[in-house]
Amino acid sequence: MMDVLAVQKNNEYFAFYVDGEYASFGITGTVAEENHFKYYGVIFMAKQEAEFVKDIADINADFPKWYTDVVLKTELVDYGPVKGTMVIRPYGYEIWENIQTELNKRFKATGHKNAYFPMLIPESYLKREGEHVEGFAPEVAVVTYAGGEELAEKLIIRPTSETIICEMYSKWIQSYRDLPVLINQWANVVRWEKTTRPFLRTSEFLWQEGHTVHATEEEAMEETLKMLNVYKEFAENALAIPVIIGKKTEKEKFAGAVATYGMEAMMLDGKSLQAGTSHYLGQNFAKAFDIKFLDKDGKHKLGYSTRLGRFYASYRRVNYGARRPKRFGAAAGRRTYTSYYNSDCEP
C-alpha cells in the first residue's frame, strides 16, 4: 500500500506526495480525496488540472495546435522576432544540454570526436556537388554585404556542413593512415522554411551532424547503419520514444546522398515524424572536393563518406502536457503540468 499524502497550501494549492516523492501541484477548489490518484501505474488525473489547461487545445480535436500550446505554455520555447525563428528558453535548453550529454557519451564510445566549422560557407562550395545545391537552393540564406561593402563572393549561412567540412578533409587526409575520420559537430543551421513550427521546423535550429570518411565502401556503409542504431538505442532507452528505422525512398533521400536511412516516431494523430537520419554519401562528395588518400598498395584513391545525424526529439505526450524521461528534466521542482502514466517519467 502506497503512502499518499495531500498537503494544503494557502487554501488554493495542493502539493501531492507519494511514498515521500513529490508528484504534482495544482489549483484546487475541492478536497484531496476527490482526486483520482494512481501512481506507478497508469494514470494520475486531478480535477485541479482543469483550471490550468483551459487554454490548451484538445489533443483529439486539433493535434498541431495542442502541440504548439504545450511547448509555449510549459515555457520550453517562445517565438523569435524574425518570422520562423524561436527562442529556446532555459527550461527547454537544459533538456537540450542533457540530450547533448547523453549523445556525446555514445559518440565518443564509437570513436567520434567533436569539432566546429564556420557557419559562413563560400557559395562556390555549395555549387560543387550538383544534387546538393539543387536540393538546398530554395532554403538558403545568403550574405551579400558585410564590413560596409558588397562581398566579392556571396556567403551561404550554413544549411548543412558537407561542403565546408569536405573542403577541410581534402587538406587533412593524405594517407590510409589518416582514415577513418570520425568527426561530429554540434551547431546551428539556417533553412528558410515557408511553414514553421517550434522545434519541429524553424528557420534556425540546433542539431548535431557527424561527418566521416573511410577507405572502403563496406566500412562507410557499416558506419552509416551502426550510427543509425545508436540513434535508435538513444531514442528508445534514454528518451523512451519508440521508433522505426529503415531506408528512405529515392524521393526522400538527402540531396547528394547515395542512400538515406531514417528513424521515424509515430505521433498520436497517426502521422510519422522523422526523428533522425543517417546518410551514405558514397564517393559523391569525395569527387567534388578531391578527397583522396594514398592506399597501402601505393595508389591514390577516393574516400567514401557518410553524414550522420540530424537528431530530433519530440516529447512523449498525454492529454494535457509534454512528457520526457526523468533524467532529462530541467531544474529541480520545474513541472509541465501533465499526467502520470509511467514510473520512469515525470511531468
Domain annotation covers residue 289: yes
Domain annotation covers residue 110: yes
Domain annotation covers residue 186: yes
pLDDT tens string, the chain, 347 residues long: the values are 344 344 334 344 444 444 444 444 444 434 444 444 443 333 344 444 555 566 788 888 888 898 899 999 989 999 999 989 999 999 999 999 999 999 999 999 999 999 999 999 999 998 887 676 676 778 899 999 999 999 999 999 999 899 999 999 999 999 999 999 999 999 999 998 888 889 888 999 999 999 999 999 999 999 999 999 999 999 999 988 899 999 999 999 888 889 999 999 888 878 888 888 999 999 999 999 999 999 999 999 999 999 887 554 433 333 334 455 656 654 333 333 222 222 232 32
Measured between alpha carbons, how far is 166 from 277 in angstroms, rounded to an integer? Answer: 19
Q: Specify the number of domains making up the chain.
A: 2
Residues 115 and 214 in one domain: yes
Residues 223 and 102 in one domain: yes
Q: Residues with Cβ < 8 Å from 75, sequence gap 6 or more?
A: 89, 91, 92
Residues 101 and 230 in one domain: yes
| Domain region containing 50 | 1-55
Residues 39 and 100 in one domain: no
Is the distance from CB of 49 to CB of 320 less than 8 angstroms? yes
CATH, residue 246:
3.30.930.10
Please give the angle made by the CA atoms of 173, 175 and 176, to the nearest 5 degrees. Answer: 105
Domain annotation covers residue 342: no
Residues 177 and 49 in one domain: no
Domain annotation covers residue 33: yes
Residues 282 and 197 in one domain: yes
pTM: 0.76
Domain annotation covers residue 153: no
Domain annotation covers residue 127: no
Residues 4 and 102 in one domain: no
